[in-house]
Chains A and B, each alone.
Chain A
Amino acid sequence: MIYADNAATTKISDSVLDKMLPFLQEQFGNASSQYSLGTKARRAIEQARQQVAMAIGAEHSEIVFTSGGSESNNWVLSSVNKGHVITSSIEHHSVLNSCHLLESKGVEVTYLPVDSKGRVSLNNIKEALRSDTILVSIMLANNEIGTIQPIAEIGEYLRGRSILFHTDAVQAVGHIPVNVKELGVDFLTASSHKFNGAKGTGILYKRKGVSLPPLIFGGEQELGVRAGTENVAGIVAAGYAIAESVTIMASIADKLSAFVQITINGIKTKIPNIIINGDDNNRLPGMINIVFNGVTGESLMHLLDLHGICVSTSSACTSGKDKPSHVLMAIGLSEQQAKSAIRISYGRYNNLDEVETIVATICKAYNKILAVKS
């Protein structure tokens, strides 16, 4: 199998797995227990909190562990109960659907457009701001096209304006340098399984001094703001995974960017009319979203799957009615083009042979699909 869907999830790192496994077996204690088994679990959680804090330039007390990126996003958005929220039209559904819920409760939401590369404009944010704007939520990097947003620029503008600023950094953390102070955010969302940690552990950075009402009520876990027995093993994995990712980030990013270029060049020699979505100059390393005119992304994805290659399409047909990606529509593609796209997202375990196999298999599959249409 060749796995090239690392924006969906990543394989857990061997060393991270080694670190987390004891907390599912011999070190299985509840971190709230007062005896040694529990206090060891507590120490492991606090060490992980420190590892995460260091990786994103935060303080230990500003990191809260959750069940995943969706919970972190839901939590921040659901804290708004009046006024106005600004977000973008290309956010993850855990943000967009939270905004729709807010609207049903009387909160007004502005969904900012993006340009053809998927970029949010600071000017549009300035124009959308109102005296009752409570929160701005803009993702750091898009999960379908990889475009990196000018979060630091937005954060600088919002600083001192008494407006909370949240960024969904699920696709960015562990892959590009992220520093919450430089970004100027009040909240930041991350997810461990996106950077070779384990599924089921999310991260919420909450700037010191900013209040956030609990989403889950119960005990005093997670600094008293997020109840529920901690997922100790998952949290330990998150700590080691983020530390490991930051250590190798630069070399991995160089490798993945090269893979993307080889992929684009290789496909273009056989299929010149492809369209590359996103921002060539400001995109996540390893991610590429390509429109193949004349075929559906779904067919291409299935043919690659038949040959053991995992890539994704954002408009998978599961009920006979396929909807085009809201992200691809927002950057101005036609519905047909949006349905003709696939996303390849390389990760640290991919190698050049795999990239070349992907390019060759895509070109072959594309021609097989076209052949049945004529």
Chain B
Amino acid sequence: MKSKVCYVCGKENLSKNEIGLVKKLLDKNAKHFYCLHCLADYLEVDTEFLLEKVEEFKTQGCTLF
């Protein structure tokens, strides 16, 4: 699979969790991806909160993470 790049800062090789967050929170077929920091800015939340959500989604069995 082609590696994803942050749409805002250009960070390369976004992690599975970063890609999963965009798919889960925004859209499974998103054309733009964000690194954790830029996603937090975009959604107006802090990064720690997003990381907590990643753990919640994993616990729920979501296969995007």
Contacts and interface: CB of A to CB of B under 8 A. Distances in A.
Contact of A373 (B25, B30, B61): B30
Interface stretch (A19-27, A96-104, A298-306): A298-306
Contacts of B60: 318
B62 A318 contact: yes
B49 A302 contact: no
Contacts of B3: none
B45 interface: yes
Contacts of A123: none
A295 interface: yes
Q: Is the interface of B mostly helix, strand, loop or mixed?
A: loop
Given A372-B31, A372-B32, A373-B31, A302 B62 contact: no
Contacts of B42: 368
A231 interface: no
Interface in B29-65: 29-32, 42-45, 49, 53, 60-64
A318 B61 CA distance: 6
Interface in A102-132: none
Contact of A319 (B7, B26, B61): B61
A374 B62 CA distance: 25
Q: Looking at B24, B27, B28, B53, which has the most chain A CB atoms within 10 Å of its CB?
A: B27
A2 to B, nearest CB: 15
Nearest to A298: B24
A373 B64 contact: no
Contact of B45 (A298, A306, A369, A372): A306
Given A319-B63, A372-B22, A306 B30 contact: no
Nearest to B24: A302
A299 B26 contact: yes
B41 to A, nearest CB: 11
Given A299-B25, A299-B26, A302-B25, A374 B31 contact: yes
Contacts of B44: 307
A80 B42 CA distance: 55
Contacts of A319: 61-63
Nearest to A374: B31
27 contacts: A296-B27, A296-B28, A299-B24, A299-B27, A302-B24, A303-B25, A306-B25, A306-B43, A306-B49, A306-B53, A317-B24, A318-B61, A319-B63, A320-B62, A320-B63, A320-B64, A369-B27, A371-B32, A372-B7, A372-B26, A372-B30, A372-B32, A373-B27, A373-B29, A373-B30, A373-B31, A374-B31
